[in-house]
């Protein structure tokens, strides 16, 4: 299946997201679509998959001009997309989403659907319980669900937007092996939008690079990370240096005493942890191992079954999320548009939610504050822009702008999820600035390089148990990967 994009244009107000883009994607290969956050990658893929109409230009499939509207029409043309934030119905089970996502409502018999679901998940090595509500799945599991659904619909071009977020190294290898098989054996076209350049290097046959809405180059693989970074940003980036914890600050920000947490299939028992002011604690583990449950417990969103949570010198166990916020706790969820931001609201309205506390809103003041934050945090958007029209990286910058400047504790789920390397570094510069003012940071990440680069201590979760990496400065990515997989035989006794 050959796809041609001819002179595609797309604007969002003054932003020219796609500017005269012409590209050809041939069948039987994996093509990486690269670029910094806001370069226009996701917009272009949404146009191709029917989620966004183009302003002008043409789409050709196998030398035939097509003019479809809507994702179901695109799927009928053989093109399906896994979005960075999966589209599903949280109240439905995995099987119900699988059936309903077929486009014909619930007409497909459950037994037939269950058999098809089992066949595809087995091929990919995914573990999806058909009877589990989608609301109980992690981001990574929901992405797996979407991949399975699209393949069941017989798509010939599969667009994957950050597909390896939240997937273990073993699952990623299984996924990559399956995608290679589908491209070589079945002639499937895979378009991979990813900021994980190691994934691009491992999987892609060629890459197309966008910058500021334009195509700036294509090249065959293989290529080095440095070469890809230069294509994306026009220059190499200086190596990131690690800033160690200042041992002169012994003040305790957070203390957990004999904490017991229960959720889903995981129970964490007798968890004891002390976090100092200015300390960064990284949480590693496969999805559902307990790290997200801990993050939500320390901000009041998950009630402990037993034990105490002490912030500074105050026991706040069992108190409300609002109470935690009033005590200087900040939380950022992995699902930006599901829990962190509000689709349908503008940037000014988001600012007002944080800055305006009275009964009446001073909109002029809120807009002025919003304009200042847009400038300071380099957000590619305007005060009147709706949050869902921004790229993932710019949404993350807005989240950072909405966070308090002087928190006591920051609990962050995957703070750089879906961000390019430059944007990720920028986010960490802002976090480090808060850390240097005394904030304690506890964060989870599926990116092992990120955990090693920024953590003063790393806690590994496996099957509800927590293990601390003996020496972060000496651990390797391979060693950390083995610990995440449950291989603790090499830990010192």
- Per the prediction, the chain carries an average pLDDT of 87
Query: Alpha-carbon distance 357 to 347, whole Å?
Result: 17
pLDDT number for residue 231: 85
Length of the chain: 493
Mean pLDDT confidence for 403-423: 88
Q: Convert the pLDDT of each residue in 110-143 to its tens digit.
A: 888 899 999 888 877 777 899 999 888 876 778 7
Q: Which residues does residue 159 pair with via DSSP β-bridges, in sequence order?
A: 81, 191
Q: pTM for this one?
A: 0.73
Band of residue 52 on the pLDDT scale cut at 50, 70, 90: very high
Inter-residue contact 215 to 44 (CB < 8 Å): no
Q: Which domains does the chain have, with CATH numbers?
A: 3-233 (3.40.50.300), 238-328+406-493 (3.40.50.300), 342-403 (no CATH)
pLDDT number for residue 407: 94
pLDDT number for residue 6: 96
SS (H, E, C) the chain: CCEEEEEEEEEECCEEEEEEEEEEECCCCEEEEECCCCCCHHHHHHHHCCCCCCCEEEEEECCEEECCCCHHHHHHCCEEEECCCCCCCCCCEHHHHHHHCCCCCCCCCHHHHHHHHHHHHHHHCCCCCCCCEHHHCCHHHHHHHHHHHHHHCCCCEEEEECCCCCCCHHHHHHHHHHHHHHHHHHCCEEEEECCCHHHHHHHCCEEEEEECCEEEEEEECCCCHHHHHHHHHCCCCCCCCCCCCCCCCCCEEEEEEEEEEEECCEEEEEEEEEEECCCEEEEECCCCCCHHHHHHHCCCCCCCCEEEEEECCEECCCCCHHHHHHCCEEEECCCHHHHHCCCCCEHHHHHHHHHCCCCCCCHHHHHHHHHHHHHHCCCCCCCCCEHHHCCHHHHHHHHHHHCCCCCCEEEEECCCCCCCHHHHHHHHHHHHHHHHCCCEEEEECCCHHHHHHHCCEEEEEECCEEEECCCCCCCCHHHHHHHHCCCCCCCCC
Band of residue 340 on the pLDDT scale cut at 50, 70, 90: confident
């Amino acid at each position: 299946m050959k796809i041609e994009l001819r002179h595609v244009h797309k604007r969002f107000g003054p932003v020219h997201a796609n500017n005269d883009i012409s590209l050809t994607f041939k069948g039987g290969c994996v093509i990486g679509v690269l670029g910094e956050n806001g370069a226009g990658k996701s917009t272009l893929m949404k146009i191709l998959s029917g989620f966004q109409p183009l302003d002008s230009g043409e789409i050709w499939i196998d030398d035939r001009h097509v003019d479809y509207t809507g994702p179901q029409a695109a799927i009928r043309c053989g093109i399906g997309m896994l979005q960075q934030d999966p589209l599903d119905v949280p109240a439905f089970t995995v099987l119900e989403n699988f059936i309903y996502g077929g486009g014909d409502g619930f007409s497909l018999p459950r037994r037939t659907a269950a058999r098809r679901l089992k066949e595809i998940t087995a091929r990919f090595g995914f573990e999806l319980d058909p009877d589990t509500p989608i609301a109980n799945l992690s981001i990574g599991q929901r992405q797996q669900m979407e991949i399975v659904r699209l393949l069941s619909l017989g798509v010939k071009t599969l667009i994957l937007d950050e597909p390896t977020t939240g997937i273990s190294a073993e699952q990623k290898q299984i996924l990559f092996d399956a995608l290679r098989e589908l491209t070589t054996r079945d002639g499937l076209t895979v378009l991979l939008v990813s900021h994980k350049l190691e994934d691009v290097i491992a999987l892609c046959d060629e890459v197309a690079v966008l910058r500021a809405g334009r195509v700036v180059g294509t090249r065959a693989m293989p290529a080095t990370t440095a070469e890809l970074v230069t294509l994306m940003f026009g220059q190499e980036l200086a190596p990131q240096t690690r800033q160690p914890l200042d041992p002169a600050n012994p003040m305790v920000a957070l203390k957990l005493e004999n904490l017991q947490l229960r959720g889903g299939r995981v129970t964490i028992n007798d968890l004891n942890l002390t976090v100092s002011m200015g300390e960064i604690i990284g949480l590693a583990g496969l999805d559902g191992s307990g790290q997200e449950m801990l993050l939500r417990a320390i901000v009041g969103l998950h009630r402990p079954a037993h034990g105490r949570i002490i912030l500074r010198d105050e026991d706040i166990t069992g108190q409300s999320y609002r109470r935690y916020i009033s005590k200087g706790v900040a939380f950022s969820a992995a699902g930006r548009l599901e829990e962190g931001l509000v689709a349908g609201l503008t940037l000014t309205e988001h600012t007002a939610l944080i800055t305006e506390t009275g009964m009446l809103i001073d909109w002029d003041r809120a807009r002025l504050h919003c304009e200042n934050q847009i400038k300071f945090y380099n957000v590619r958007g305007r005060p009147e822009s709706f949050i869902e029209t921004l790229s993932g990286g710019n949404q993350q910058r807005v989240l950072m702008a909405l966070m308090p400047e002087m928190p006591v504790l920051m609990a962050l789920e995957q703070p750089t999820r879906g961000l390019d390397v430059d944007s990720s570094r920028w986010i960490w510069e802002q976090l480090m600035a808060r850390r240097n003012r005394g904030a304690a940071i506890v964060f989870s990440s599926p990116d092992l390089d990120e955990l090693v680069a920024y953590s003063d201590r790393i806690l590994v979760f496996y099957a509800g148990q927590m293990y601390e990496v003996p020496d972060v400065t000496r651990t390797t990515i391979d060693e950390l990967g083995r610990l995440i997989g449950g291989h603790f035989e090499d830990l010192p006794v």
